[in-house]
């Protein structure tokens, strides 16, 4: 055998942008530094927050002598799957009552996307049809493209979403792209708190989107990563998914409990499947079980038990909703405070989009030169796209961040 490594020809992959940004932030020794790139909730002290209800449930689980570490069913903890689907579809969901909803416990929202993508590639629009177009918003969470590419889809397309000029939704472009999409194309939709823009369609706009998708036979694949976290209301944040179900769509919805439970490293996710009838759903789940078996084989129990225990106990559920509202209200406060400071400074441009957007992230509209100035000169770390995490703002750094944005925009218009 020739000398040298068998892996000598493997190229080094570029770092994941958000994690590289955090690494750069940690190495920065400037006392003024601010991290607006982190993809997780932070308190006003800039610290991670373990939800009080989660601490309570963890202790409850630890004290339950009846629990063990045996394998779960391949599709996951039944009470977790059922209740995860229930909170996104609603207590009065007709689809649930008609027994045409199924769930798959997944490794976070990403796992839900991957299992759904694998199934669609194998069984949707023909068998092993890698040519089915998959439409992803422009811009979108960077992992969306990668998940569908790695599931084997060959035709990944962008649909218009963000209007940079008006710093809002490009509804006309979005609807035009849906009208021109081939029938049976897959559309990845953000259920609420669009990442990275923070811009969601209004209820009336969602109705327009659904009408076009129904007429054009387009498949909705929702990504719900922020239910309750966006507006503080579980029902409001699930409105789009529930409306599509009420309109008779068969659909997938990947759910993440990372943000709204603060369970980032427990990897708690669910893929809700809504079909025309119970038989269709059971056949879909039987194939998803085969897919899960070859990817992670069996899911972890701890995070799923925390969520299931919380969702099935009225007192814990009420406490959780209050915890989630605490996080959502802090984000809303930071939005209003940042906008007020930028307007008070007379920062060039309009800043109403800061409060019109929703959820953890805001698309500031800062251009690459302004972002570079913020990072290099002001030690404020944000994504190259201008996306910031509102949770990185605190009452202690708001003035500094606002004045730095003002400087950046004034210097580089």
28: which DSSP letter? -
Judge whether 141 counts as a catalytic residue: yes
Task: Give the pLDDT of residue 1.
Answer: 52
Q: Which of 141, 162, 320, 351 is catalytic?
A: 141
Whole-number pLDDT of residue 66? 94
Mean pLDDT of successive 10-residue segments in the chain (413 residues)? Answer: 80 87 89 89 91 96 94 96 97 96 97 97 90 96 94 97 90 98 97 92 97 98 93 93 97 96 94 97 97 96 96 96 92 94 91 88 90 93 90 94 94 83
pLDDT at 229: 84
Query: Which pLDDT tens digit goes with each residue over 268-304?
Result: 999 999 999 999 999 999 999 999 999 999 999 999 9
The pTM assigned to this predicted structure is 0.92
The pLDDT tens digits for 41-70 are 899 998 999 999 999 999 999 999 999 999
* Contact (Cβ atoms closer than 8 angstroms) between residue 244 and residue 79: no
Express each pLDDT in 345-396 by its tens digit: 999 988 999 998 888 888 888 899 999 999 999 999 998 888 899 999 999 9
3 state SS of 5: coil
Catalytic residue flag (residue 223): yes
Query: Alpha helix locations (H) across 181-313?
Result: 203-215, 234-237, 239-246, 258-261, 278-295, 302-312
Give the tokens for residue 375: 């990072």
Q: In angstroms, how far is the first alpha carbon of the chain from the final one?
A: 60
Instruction: Determine whether 320 is an active site residue.
Output: no
Q: Which residues pair with 168 in a beta bridge?
A: 163
| Closest CA relative to residue 58, chosen from 261, 326, 322 | 261
- The one catalytic residue in 162, 259, 351, 378 is 259
Cβ atoms within 10 Å, residue 6: 8
Question: What pLDDT, on a 0 to 100 scale, did the predictor assign at position 176?
Answer: 98
Task: Give the domains, in start order, of the chain with CATH numbers.
Answer: 17-49+329-411 (3.90.1150.10), 78-312 (3.40.640.10)
Beta carbons of 126 and 153 less than 8 angstroms apart: no
Q: Is the dihedral of CA 198, 191, 42, 340 positive or negative?
A: positive
- Following DSSP, what letter does each residue of 178-200 receive, concatenated? HHHSPTT-EEEEESSS-TTT---
Select from 360, 370, 361, 381 the least CA-distant residue to 405: 370
From the candidates 170, 200, 223, 237, give the one annotated as an active-site residue.
Answer: 223
């Amino acid at each position: 055998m020739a000398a040298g490594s068998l892996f000598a020809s493997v190229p080094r992959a570029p770092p994941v942008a958000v994690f590289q940004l955090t690494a750069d932030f940690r190495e920065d020794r400037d006392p003024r530094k601010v991290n607006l790139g982190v993809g997780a909730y932070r308190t006003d002290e800039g610290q991670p927050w373990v939800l009080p209800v989660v601490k309570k449930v963890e202790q409850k689980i630890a004290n339950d002598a009846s629990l063990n570490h045996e394998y779960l069913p391949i599709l996951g903890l039944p009470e977790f799957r059922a209740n995860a689907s229930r909170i996104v579809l609603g207590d009065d969901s007709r689809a649930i009552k008609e027994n045409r909803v199924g769930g798959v416990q997944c490794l976070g929202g990403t796992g839900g996307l991957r299992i759904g993508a694998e199934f669609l590639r194998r069984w949707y629009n023909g068998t092993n049809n890698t040519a089915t177009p998959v439409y992803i918003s422009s811009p979108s969470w960077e992992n969306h493209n990668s998940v569908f590419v790695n599931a084997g889809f060959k035709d990944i397309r962008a649909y218009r979403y963000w209007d940079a000029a008006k710093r809002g939704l490009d509804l006309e472009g979005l609807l035009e792209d849906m009208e021109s999409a081939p029938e049976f194309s897959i559309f990845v939709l953000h259920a609420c708190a669009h990442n990275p823009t923070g811009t969601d369609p209004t209820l009336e706009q969602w109705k327009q989107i659904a009408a076009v998708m129904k007429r054009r036979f387009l498949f909705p694949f929702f990504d719900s990563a922020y239910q309750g976290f966006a507006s503080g209301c579980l029902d409001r944040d699930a409105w789009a998914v529930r409306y599509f179900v009420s309109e008779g769509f068969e659909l997938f919805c990947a759910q993440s409990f990372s943000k709204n439970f603060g369970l980032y490293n427990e990897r708690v996710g669910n893929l809700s499947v809504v079909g025309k009838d119970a038989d269709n759903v059971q056949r879909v789940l039987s194939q998803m079980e085969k897919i899960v078996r070859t990817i992670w084989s069996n899911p972890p129990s701890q995070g799923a038990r925390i969520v299931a225990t919380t969702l099935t106990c009225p007192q814990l559920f009420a406490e959780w909703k209050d915890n989630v509202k605490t996080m959502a209200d802090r984000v809303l406060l930071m939005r209003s405070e940042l906008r007020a400071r930028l307007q008070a400074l007379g920062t060039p441009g309009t800043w109403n989009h800061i409060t019109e957007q929703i959820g953890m992230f805001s698309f500031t509209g800062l251009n690459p030169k302004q972002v570079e100035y913020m990072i290099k000169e002001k030690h404020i770390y944000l994504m190259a796209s201008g996306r910031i995490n509102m949770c990185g703002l605190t009452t202690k750094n708001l003035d500094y961040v606002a004045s730095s944005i003002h400087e950046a925009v004034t210097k580089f218009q």
